[in-house]
Chains A and B, each alone.
Chain A
Amino acid sequence: MPAILVLAALVGLALVPAVAPSGYQVDIARQALYAACLAATWSLLAGVAGQFSFGHVAIAGVAAYAGVIWGRELAGTPFGDAWVATVVGTLAGLGLGATLGLILLRLRGSYLALFTLAFSEIARIVIATEVDITGGNLSLAVGQLPGDRAFHYEVMVGALLLVLVVIYRVMGSRFGLFLRAMREDADAAAAMAVDTTRLKVLVFSLVSLLLGFSASVYYHTTPRLTPQILDLLGMGLIVVYAVVGGMESPLAGAIAAVILVWLLDALRVIEIGPLYIEPGVWRYAIFGALLVLTLRLAPNGLIAPLGAWIAARVRRLLGTSKSPKAPMAPSGTGDRPADGIAATSTSPAAPDPAVEGPAREISLSVEGIVMRFGGLAALDGATFALDRPQICGLIGPNGAGKTTLVNVLSGQYRPTGGAVILKGERVDGLPPYEMVRRGVGRTFQITRSFRRLTVLENLLVPELAINATRTRGEAEDRALAALEVVGLQRLARDYARSLSGGQQKLLELARLVMLDSDILFLDEPFAGVHPVLRRSIGDLIRRIRAEGRAVVLIEHDLGAVFELCERLVVLDGGVVIADGDPATVRGDPRVIAAYLGQPDKPATWAPSGTNSTATGQSNA
């Protein structure tokens, strides 16, 4: 069904030159197709990958200039052919995008937008100033592609089609899945083995390649180039198209671009009866207002929700129910444990020899880690080691540095001092995805699921990121199996943001299981979880340990800690104050002091009583 619609749309697009009243209309239509390319690619970059770049139009402009200048310099030779120049422009776009991607690696969110905005303005200034090369504001004659106006138009139809096909192929691939995961939470994606660094460079390169291609093709059908093609106004309009279309849907952005370019042209002169208005630049002001109002009143855009509504109507009319939720069993499990959990919890505690996996090399040594934030030392020389499968509790009062330690060991933070040695290799300062690939996984204290990915997709991210050769089908089977273990299989097709707090914890655990790590850090897996669910989580942890892995459990619930752990490491003030089997640690006077305060220092917990604090300090 959608194929027929797309085909009809294509035939309609291709027929424009035959039915258009004038050549001018065909030119506007070609311009609309180019705007559609820009809007769709921006939608991929900003809406799908979450990289808000304002350098889009500038990259396209630079690529166009590169191709045209190449064609002019080599005119007369076989290399100076307009088609060759188009290829050169495309490659120039790729090169520029890759370079920008490398420079922009460290930048996120607003910083990225700032930098790209500055870049695009500087690019325009340079092109306008270097008159000898670019012709500056006097414009540059283009060696156009052969063929007439109608042919140029059809070439542009082909270009848009190609761009859209590439975009949707990418979005359907694992690369597209990673992009969306990175958009939702870059840190969590990195903790799930997604190489966010490379991903960012790749998405910039890909988008710039498409940009370079569409710009080179389009501007080789226009007579002259001026620096105005890099104007910020152009960028503003692309943003308007993408937002009005619906940020996350490149196709909707493309459709919006076609409609709005046509509208922009139609509003040149408004004539209603005796009323005659030439809105001029006010049209752009109106478009700016349109962007603001769309964002405020319909943040999902106008075209994409409309498309979804039409699709739903069509489906209902045809009587085919393709809704992915339909074959699923009725949901409503809530926080109650599901069948899968019940099954596993029948074999509690004792390690099941059947699940004993291959021997794993567990060797992590933490040597005097120091982590300072400004003047505060969250970790002040913490030292401990893991050398065999175990469930190790990492406990300590609030502010002891537990989560900071996990952040250092999982690559989130680069420590200020000390060393982390994993299997004989120094690994402190490596990015999270490198730590995961070396066998260290973690969950987050505050759950960080990919909220606008489905539950199943949340699990596919680590599975596909860590196994480059795994096919989608195999990965889905494994993910569904893992969901069954934690009892979330019924919610597989729901968005992760619709899960309850406890379910989010389970989802994170399942995600971690997919990574197949040797050492797992669980940051407060029991916090805020229903008592029945707690037992299932406990069983899951035992099961993980029985597979020959080491689990480090950060937990405030000492009951759960003493029940599960074979070993306890106690952290206070950023240093390890006790390390050993639970019974010994429990009796250690320093641990008791850390938790309850020293007997001769009774009032450390008293609310700001000046006297008692003073006494406490003088005794210390």
Chain B
Amino acid sequence: MEFLLWMALAGPAWSTVGAILLPRRYRTRRADPRLAGVAGGIWGAVLGPVGLVLLYRSTPRLLRGLHVVIPGILLLAELLALFALMNPSSTCVTNGPYLANQVQNGLTVGLVYATMAAGLTLIYSVQRIISFSHGQFVMFGGVTAFLILQQVDLNPIAVIPIVAIGTLLLGMLVAATLLRPIQSGRAERPDEFAILMTFGLGVFMTYALVGVLGSPVGVRAPRYTDRPIFGLDASVIEIGAIRLRMDVLIAGGVGLLVFLGLVWLLYRTWLGRSFRAVSMDRQAAAAVGIDSGRAFVLAFGLGCMLAGIAGAALVPAFNFQVPDMAAQTAIRSYVIVVLGGLGSVPGALVGALFLGVTEALTAACYPDPTKGATYQVASGLLVFLAVLLLRPQGFFGRREG
């Protein structure tokens, strides 16, 4: 145990030493230095000087990804063990079912995150731009659903299609008017134009929504479980020690269905094929008769629609803090798409589940429980940082030539 503590203190230092020293060694030996930096960093963190000596001695043989993956897993295990040793009384360590519940909760919420992140990734894959108003579209979807439910006594699920159509049309309108210079190639620097334009749109949408609601508020919409579902009138289902919150479960179910629908659209329909064609090669797509401008307008609309659906699905399960949640939701989507690889739809699902669990565990396990909930979003940034430093193309992305 002492050893582990010592390692935790010295780990970063040895990691730095390894990351600097090893590539030099490989370079002077005229060996391939590409993996040396990362491997040196991780081995140094896991085994300290021992790991570095091992690597140093086996110099030209460091080639395969496994040399990085195995110590990476070791490092994770070591960190978890350290956490348990430092916080022996934490519920996370003592109470297994509690932990399982957190993971379960994170996975379910992750399904909804996957939907909105898939929207972002869809927009990116067709036009190579990132929407900085994505969080606002999620908020817009949620608040619109809330406002409708306030006026009309409807099942919250029935509102989702209405919101979907609304956000689809709004997104298409935005793409066709505001983002037009990008499609027509008249924007001098399309990337930056898109960043600023969508960011400005986000500011507008945020404060227009706050204006409609009157002031910054926590929005609490009617819950899915306010009315019986299939004759079942319980907000919590217990299976052994696992407690499933029905509201979250339904939101997750909606998320999963929509995600599967998107996959079907992309891989089984001509519209999806045209999107994928444009995303691979715009000119080649144009040559076979695909109107890339129309594809972009549709893709942007669909992306916004997915965000809107995520908002409408989440609002009967969680309270929305308007306007703070817009930025936080947006950040979640960014972390997910970068994690999974920008432009990869399956990556969005994996990234979302990963983030959902990470966030749930942070909220549950942060040593100071009063701060755990607020640091939920911050945990995503750490994941983000690690991915950007180690594998900028994400889990499923390809490095672009």
Q: Which residues of A contact B (CB under 8 A)?
A: 46, 50, 52, 54, 103, 106-107, 109-111, 113-115, 117-119, 121-122, 125-126, 128-130, 232-233, 236, 239-240, 243, 280-285, 287-289, 291-292, 295-296, 299, 373-374, 413-414, 417, 419, 421, 426, 429
Cβ of B56 within 8 Å of any chain A Cβ, yes or no, is: no
Q: List 25 A-B contacts (CB under 8 A).
A: A110-B191, A118-B331, A118-B384, A121-B328, A122-B377, A125-B375, A129-B371, A233-B206, A236-B202, A236-B203, A239-B199, A240-B203, A281-B207, A285-B203, A285-B211, A288-B208, A289-B200, A292-B200, A295-B196, A296-B178, A299-B187, A373-B401, A417-B32, A426-B30, A429-B33
How many of B's residues come within 8 Å of A, CB to CB? 56
Say yes or no for B272: interface residue by CB 8 A criterion. Answer: no
Whether, in the assembled complex, B87 has its beta carbon less than 8 Å from a beta carbon of chain A, the answer is no
| Interface core residue of B197, B202, B203 (most chain A CB under 10 Å) | B203
Q: Could you say which residues of chain B place their CB within 8 Å of the CB of A296? A: 177-178, 181, 197
Shortest CB distance B238–A (Å)? 33
A364 to B20, CA, bound (A): 27
Of A117, A130, A281, chain B has the most CB atoms within 10 Å of the CB of A281
B33, B129, B189, B335: which contacts A118 (Cβ < 8 A)?
Answer: B335
Q: Which residues of B contact A236 (CB under 8 A)?
A: 199-200, 202-203
Q: Is the CB of B196 within 8 A of A243?
A: yes
Do B392 and A106 touch (CB < 8 A)?
yes
Does B195 sit within 8 A of A, measured CB to CB? yes
On whether A110 and B129 interact (CB within 8 A), knowing A285-B208, A374-B398, the answer reads yes
Chain A residues closer than 8 Å to B193, beta-carbon distance: 295, 299
Chain A residues closer than 8 Å to B377, beta-carbon distance: 121-122, 125
Residues of A within 8 A of B192 (CB): 46, 50, 52, 109
Q: A115-B384, A121-B331, A122-B381 are in contact. Are A128 and B374 (CB under 8 A)?
A: yes
Chain B residues near A (Cβ < 8 Å)? 27, 30, 32-34, 129-130, 132, 177-178, 181, 187-189, 191-197, 199-208, 210-211, 215, 327-328, 330-331, 334-335, 338, 371, 374-375, 377-378, 380-381, 384-385, 388-389, 392, 398-399, 401
A129 touches B374 (CB 8 A): yes
Cα A291 to Cα B178 in complex, Å, equals: 11
Min CB gap B184→A, angstroms: 12
Q: How far is the CA of A46 from the CA of B199 in the complex (A)?
A: 14
Q: Which B residues are CB-close (under 8 A) to A110? A: 129-130, 191, 194-195
Which among B197, B204, B328 has the highest number of chain A CB atoms within 10 Å? B204
Q: Is the CB of B195 within 8 A of A113?
A: yes
Residues of chain A with a CB closer than 8 A to B129's CB: 110
Whether A295 pairs with B203 at a CB distance below 8 angstroms is no
Q: How far is the CB of B288 from chain A (nearest CB, A)?
A: 14
Nearest-CB residue, chain A, relative to B199: A239
In the bound complex, CA of A233 to CA of B384 (Å) = 23
Dominant SS at the B interface?
helix
B123 → chain A closest CB, angstroms: 11
Evaluate contact between A419 and B30: CB separation under 8 angstroms: yes
Which one of A50, A107, A122 contacts B388 once the chains associate, using CB atoms below 8 Å? Answer: A107
Pick the contact of A113: B130, B215, B371 (CB < 8 A): B130
Residues of A within 8 Å of B331, CB to CB, are 117-118, 121
Q: B205 — which chain A residues lie within 8 A by C-beta?
A: 288
Q: Cα distance A241–B135 when bound, in Å?
A: 23
Q: Which of A122, A239, A284 contacts B196 (CB 8 A)?
A: A239
Are B200 and A115 in contact, CB atoms less than 8 angstroms apart?
A: no
User: 20 new A-B pairs (CB below 8 Å) besides A126-B378, A282-B207, A291-B203?
Assistant: A103-B385, A106-B389, A106-B392, A107-B388, A110-B195, A113-B130, A113-B195, A128-B374, A240-B200, A240-B203, A282-B211, A284-B207, A288-B202, A288-B206, A288-B208, A289-B204, A292-B204, A295-B200, A413-B401, A429-B34
Residue in chain B with minimal CB distance to A109? B191
Q: How far is the CA of A118 from the CA of B191 in the complex (A)?
A: 19
B392 and A117 contact, CB distance less than 8 A: no
Q: Of all chain B residues, which has the CB nearest A237?
A: B203
Least Cβ–Cβ distance between B98 and chain A, in angstroms = 23
Instruction: Tell whether, in the assembled complex, residue B204 and residue A285 are in contact, meaning their CB atoms are under 8 Å apart.
Output: yes
The distance from the CB of B159 to the nearest CB of chain A, in whole angstroms, is 24
**Contact between B215 and A117 (Cβ–Cβ < 8 Å)?**
no
Q: 4 closest A-B pairs (Cβ-Cβ)?
A: A288-B204, A288-B203, A291-B200, A284-B207
Closest to A121 in B: B327
B296 smallest CB distance to A (angstroms): 16
CB distance from B135 to the nearest CB of A (A): 10
Q: How far is the CA of A236 from the CA of B27 in the complex (A)?
A: 46
Give every chain B residue within 8 A of A285 (Cβ-Cβ).
203-204, 206-208, 211
Residues of A within 8 A of B328 (CB): 121
* Chain B residues with CB under 8 A of A106: 388-389, 392
Question: Roughly how many angstroms separate A109 CA and B392 CA in the complex, as a whole number?
Answer: 14
The distance in angstroms between the C-alpha atoms of A417 and B196, with both chains bound, is: 40
Alpha-carbon distance A122/B377, docked complex (angstroms): 7
Instruction: Report whether B385 and A426 are in contact in the complex, using a CB–CB cutoff of 8 Å.
Output: no
Which of chain B's residues have a CB closer than 8 A to the CB of A284? 203, 206-207, 210
Residues of A within 8 A of B194 (CB): 110
A117-B132 contact, Cβ under 8 Å, with A282-B208, A292-B200: yes
Q: For A232, list chain B residues within 8 Å (CB).
A: 327
B contact residues around A111 at 8 Å (CB): 338, 388, 392
A236 to B211, CA, bound (A): 17
Residues of B within 8 A of A126 (CB): 375, 378
Bound CA span A80–B191, Å: 45
**What separation, in Å, do the CA atoms of A232 and B199 have in the docked complex?**
11
CA distance A236 to B203 in the complex (A): 7
What residues of A have a CB within 8 angstroms of the CB of B200 in the complex? Answer: 236, 239-240, 243, 288-289, 291-292, 295
B26: nearest residue on chain A (CB-CB)? A426
Q: In the complex, are the beta carbons of A287 and B27 less than 8 A apart?
A: no
Q: Which chain B residues border A374 with CB–CB below 8 Å? A: 398
